[in-house]
Amino acid sequence: MFPASFEYFAARSVEEAIELLTKHGEDAKLLAGGHSLIPAMKLRLAAPRYLIDIGQVPGLSGVNVDGETLAIGALTVHADIASSDLVRQWLPGLAEAASVIGDVQVRNRGTIGGSVAHADPAADFPVILTALGASFVLVSPSGRRTLSADDFFIDFFTTALKPNEVLTEIRVPLPPSGSGTAYSKLPHPASGYVVVSAGVLLSRQPSGQCLSARVAIGGLGSGPLRAKATEAVLQGQPLTAEAIAAAAAKAAEGANPDDDLYTSADYKRHVAAVYARRAIEEAARRAAG
């Protein structure tokens, strides 16, 4: 199907994009890689009258270390995150998540900013970024604000982004030494999107006990869910296979997934424990060096 007709603008700067968003309000949409918005427009699930392409705006792409933070430009494509030496060195779980998104074409066109702004409940980045304690830099005519992942993702396809805000950067704290990150995904066999996935950041004491853990699960609700019961069980425990399995068994605690055409809610709860265990084991192995 063809999308409804629209007027196209190619913004040359963040300021120009904000100006156009402010002028056209709810009738306008930003276009980044177009790999979520264009399909939605073709299905007439979205019909913006004004499309503001930020794809060529300079300065919004790339990965840099900024103090104690990894700063990722909103226009950085999935493939560049998967292959970035900085990401692989500091946050291998994020590189893993980027490398299992869609196919080669999607990974070379889709942007991390577009993925989190779209907030698909079956997307990969929201899960791992929640586990990593990432924050999002949003710019509007009123200035710049930074929101944590926990505050940014609100509901199905809904974030805290205001209509005239541009997401410019994703900031991820560099984990201290003795930490490990990992991402594990059960992809839908037809679409490749998340059925269930788990993202983990954990820190390990030299004695082998878990100092702290953040575990996020995808596929069980309207967005990434923190597996707080799993995190609490891990805390202070030796990172043995038994302790990890006991903690992972609680990955779906408090979640209320729905049955869908592919699978049942019970199956999702079951695989959430399996994929949480795999991600925690891998993060613990990396934390041990």
Distance in angstroms (rounded) separating the CA atoms of residues 214 and 43: 37
Q: Which residue number, 32 or 82, has a Cβ lying nearer to ligand FAD?
A: 32
Q: Which residue number, 31 or 182, has a Cβ lying nearer to ligand FAD?
A: 31
**Residue 111 DSSP class:** B
Distance in angstroms (rounded) separating the CA atoms of residues 106 and 111: 9
> Which residues, including other chains, have CB under 8 Å from residue 151's CB and lie 6 or more apart?
160
Binding site for ligand FAD (CB under 6 A): 29-37, 39, 74, 101-102, 106, 110-111, 113-115, 117-118, 123-125, 161, 166-167, 192-193
Distance in angstroms (rounded) separating the CA atoms of residues 229 and 212: 13
Distance in angstroms (rounded) separating the CA atoms of residues 239 and 218: 23
Q: Which residue number, 33 or 180, has a Cβ lying nearer to ligand FAD?
A: 33
Count Cβ atoms below 10 Å from residue 44 Cβ, excluding itself: 11
Q: Which one, of 149, 190, 163, 171, lies nearest residue 70 by Cα?
A: 171
- Nearest distance in Å: CB 270, ligand FAD: 21
Q: Which one, of 169, 168, 233, 234, lies nearest residue 203 by Cα?
A: 234
- Nearest distance in Å: CB 136, ligand FAD: 9
- Nearest distance in Å: CB 127, ligand FAD: 9
Judge whether 150 and 54 are in contact, CB under 8 Å: no
- Nearest distance in Å: CB 165, ligand FAD: 7
> Which residues, including other chains, have CB under 8 Å from residue 166's CB and lie 6 or more apart?
14, 17, 18, 21, 30, 54, 74, 138, 139, 140
- Nearest distance in Å: CB 169, ligand FAD: 9
Q: Which residue number, 217 or 284, has a Cβ lying nearer to ligand FAD?
A: 217
Helix (H, G, I), strand (E, B) or coil at 134: coil
Q: Which residue number, 118 or 204, has a Cβ lying nearer to ligand FAD?
A: 118
- Nearest distance in Å: CB 267, ligand FAD: 19
Q: Which residue number, 102 or 178, has a Cβ lying nearer to ligand FAD?
A: 102
Q: Which residue number, 157 or 267, has a Cβ lying nearer to ligand FAD?
A: 157
- Nearest distance in Å: CB 268, ligand FAD: 17
